[in-house]
Structure 1
Amino acid sequence: MKKLLPVILILVIAGAALAWFKLRPPPAPDNVLTLYGNVDIREAQLTFNASEHVEAVLVEEGEHVSKGQLLARLHPDLFRSQVAQAEAQVEAKRQQLAKLKAGNRPEEIDKARAEVEAARARAKAAHDTWQRLQRLVKKKLASREEVETAASNANAAQAQLEAAQAALRLMEAGPRKEDIAAAEADLKAAEASLALARQNLANTELHAPADGIIRTRILEPGDMASPLKPALTLAFANPVWVRAWLPETLLGRVKPGMPVSIVTDSYPDKRYSAWVGYVSPTAEFTPKNVETPELRTRLVYQMRIIACNGNEELRLGMPATVHIDLQADVADIPDCQKP
């Protein structure tokens, strides 16, 4: 039995080697570069652009959301009151401007003309009294003090007439263009305040900036929200990328835009179309968690292999193998990357 053990051990080793050769993937062609990395995605910490208590959170963790979808909202009562107040101020400024542009009413002008005629009559009566007293003083039928008083009254009446005439000219000319310009500026300022109030009201709603998946609900109804406090974490559905490292010796042969195929252990029979999106301009030592055929002490350049993830099969952290055809031309960027 002891003599058979070496023979059995040799047969087991030979069988295992034969199985490995049959099951191992075919070697990549010389013009195909194979790299290894992990899937990465972009995330956003979504915040309200206002400070108020959260009224409702409308999505759950893991839920798929579409661009523009309402995710959460704040209590809007205070902001609605500010909008109503700003609307009232705009209406008041608009009416004030309309009043200036319309000018004075005909009734107001007629009143000013009547005041001129009344002032003219008073001025004439005062002047006639003064003239009569001047004649009487020569006959010693009136004192000089009465003449001086009459003269003062005549001068005062004439001044009142001139003031009434000036007021009539202003009434007929209407408001000054400077006053109209100032009223127009006040109206624009009120309209700007109204636009700001409406924007603040709109900021009580939180919408998805892009398609994605809700990863975390950070705030709940009743919590106090602010622009500095994230409410939700959104993982973008597209694009995703594989973070890999390019050996220095192949730096000149890989360019952004070159087509790439991605293979994962989760879906070994499926190849994902991708492209080289980014090659770092700075060299670094190979990270210890990276497996490449090159020595770990060689300098490498970080790469992003970007891929469309329509079926959302590529998940964060998933190990992936990328194959780059070094003889391929730069390809057009797929639609999932276009804005």
Structure 2
Amino acid sequence: MKKNSLIFLALAALAMVGVVVYSLVSENGSQLPDGFAQGNGRIEAEQIEIAPTLAGRVESVMAVEGGMVATGDVLAEMDSDELSATLDRAKAEVALAHQTKVEAEALVVQRKSELRRAAQELQRATALLTGQNISETVFEERETIHQVAAAVLGAAQARVATAESQIAAAEAEMRRIEALIEDSSLLAPTRGRVLYRLAEPGEVVAAGEPILTLLSLENVYMEVFLPARVAGLLPIGAEARIVLDALPDYSIPAFVTFVSPEAQFTPKQVETLDEREQLVFRVRVRIPEDLIQSRIEHVKTGLRGVAVIRIDPNLAWPAALEQGIPPELFE
């Protein structure tokens, strides 16, 4: 009986804390002391579209909706048979370009030999012409042969340069295709949860068409809308507390990471007509990453609640909103 009484008292105390927190953040913050502001919102996270770089057929999808994935996990595979065949052809072109270079270099050696022989013949013809032992016609023939040999050597050397360019182009094409084949395996860019599975094996999708939508859990936040008289006083980094409708007994520590530079009308999802008619500024409060990482399996987006922001850093938090590490926030 004594143990049951203690459990009852603990539950009653917890319920009273919930009532206090709810009374503080309800009624549009009318119970909050001066120096604090609040806004309605919901838990959100960045969404990442997982899509192929090229159009093609989906070979397999390993990820399941709602499943957790780690950075680098293979989420889906695209059919890469055609790319593999293209890669084989590119490798053959690289080999052919190398062979062309070898042949061009051998031709250069031959042309250099011919140029040396022509130079020797021209040198002898010059000496003979000085002694008037040959005619000028013969000398001119030797001179022409030398000039032709020099030109042919230049052409052979140009072929070597062309072959080198062909090798570079073929190798670049090979690397491009290898990168495309690597991209046919769609990897998780960050740790998160699969929100939507949008394609199934066998389907043909366009380039950039999402196959999966991944919810990144590295940046979990709530966006609220505050009037200018409040938003203008908020510094980046201001402390906040998030109280969720599903967990009114706990306040989740957060901090301001963004204040919109432009005013706007409050979005329709804000419930009251009076609030929707006001010009407000969008404010984002983010839950610390270390707090999310320690409870990442329990994080759920879409949960509604309020964010209470401390405008004056010198003020103490109300007792019901003091920072504490609550157990399994989103369980």
* TM-score w.r.t. length of structure 1: 0.67
Q: CA, structure 1 residues 212+261, in 2 after alignment: closer, same or farther (shift >3 Å)?
A: same
Q: Which among 311, 316, 320 is matched to residue 301 of structure 2?
A: 316
Measured against aligned partners, the alpha-carbon deviations of 1:173-201 in whole angstroms (never above 9, x if no partner) come to: 57644333222222221122112221222
Matched, 1:258 2:262: no
Q: Look up the match of 1:290.
A: 270
Q: Look up the match of 1:32.
A: 36
Measured against aligned partners, the alpha-carbon deviations of 1:108-133 in whole angstroms (never above 9, x if no partner) come to: 959x97xx99xxxxxxxxxxxxxxxx
SS at match of 1:222: coil
Instruction: Give the 5 Å matches for 1:1-339.
Output: 23-25=19-21, 27-101=31-105, 103-104=107-108, 109=113, 173=153, 176-287=156-267, 289-290=269-270, 297-307=277-287, 308=289, 309-310=292-293, 311-312=295-296, 313-328=298-313
Larger radius of gyration: 1
Distance in 1 separating the partners of 2:246 and 2:18: 21
Query: Which structure 2 segments of 5+ residues have no match?
Result: 1-14, 25-30, 122-136, 315-331
Distance in 2 separating the partners of 1:219 and 1:22: 43
Q: Is the 1:42–1:236 Cα contact (8 Å) retained in structure 2? A: yes
- C-alpha deviation, 1:165, in angstroms: 6.5
Measured against aligned partners, the alpha-carbon deviations of 1:97-152 in whole angstroms (never above 9, x if no partner) come to: 23434555579959x97xx99xxxxxxxxxxxxxxxxxxxxxxxxxxxxxxxxxxx
Distance in 2 separating the partners of 1:78 and 1:161: 58
Question: Which residue identity does 2:58 align to in structure 1?
Answer: V
Q: Is the 1:279–1:304 Cα contact (8 Å) retained in structure 2? A: yes
- C-alpha deviation, 1:267, in angstroms: 2.9
Q: CA, structure 1 residues 102+261, in 2 after alignment: closer, same or farther (shift >3 Å)?
A: farther
Measured against aligned partners, the alpha-carbon deviations of 1:249-290 in whole angstroms (never above 9, x if no partner) come to: 212211222222212133334332222122223323344543
Question: Which residue identity does 1:95 align to in structure 2?
Answer: Q
Q: Look up the match of 1:139.
A: none
Q: Look up the match of 1:134.
A: none
Q: CA, structure 1 residues 166+247, in 2 after alignment: closer, same or farther (shift >3 Å)?
A: closer
Q: Look up the match of 1:148.
A: none
SS at match of 1:24: helix
Q: CA, structure 1 residues 20+291, in 2 after alignment: closer, same or farther (shift >3 Å)?
A: farther
Q: Is the 1:219–1:231 Cα contact (8 Å) retained in structure 2? A: yes
Q: CA, structure 1 residues 320+295, in 2 after alignment: closer, same or farther (shift >3 Å)?
A: closer
Distance in 2 separating the partners of 1:249 and 1:265: 27
Distance in 1 separating the partners of 2:189 and 2:208: 18
Q: Is the 2:111–2:156 Cα contact (8 Å) retained in structure 1? A: no
Q: Is the 2:38–2:226 Cα contact (8 Å) retained in structure 1? A: no
SS at match of 2:259: strand
Report the count of equivalent residues: 274
Q: Is the 1:100–1:175 Cα contact (8 Å) retained in structure 2? A: no
Query: Which structure 1 segments of 5+ residues have no match?
Result: 1-18, 118-154, 330-339
Q: CA, structure 1 residues 316+162, in 2 after alignment: closer, same or farther (shift >3 Å)?
A: same
- C-alpha deviation, 1:229, in angstroms: 2.5
Q: Is the 1:35–1:322 Cα contact (8 Å) retained in structure 2? A: yes
Distance in 2 separating the partners of 1:69 and 1:46: 12
SS at match of 1:281: coil
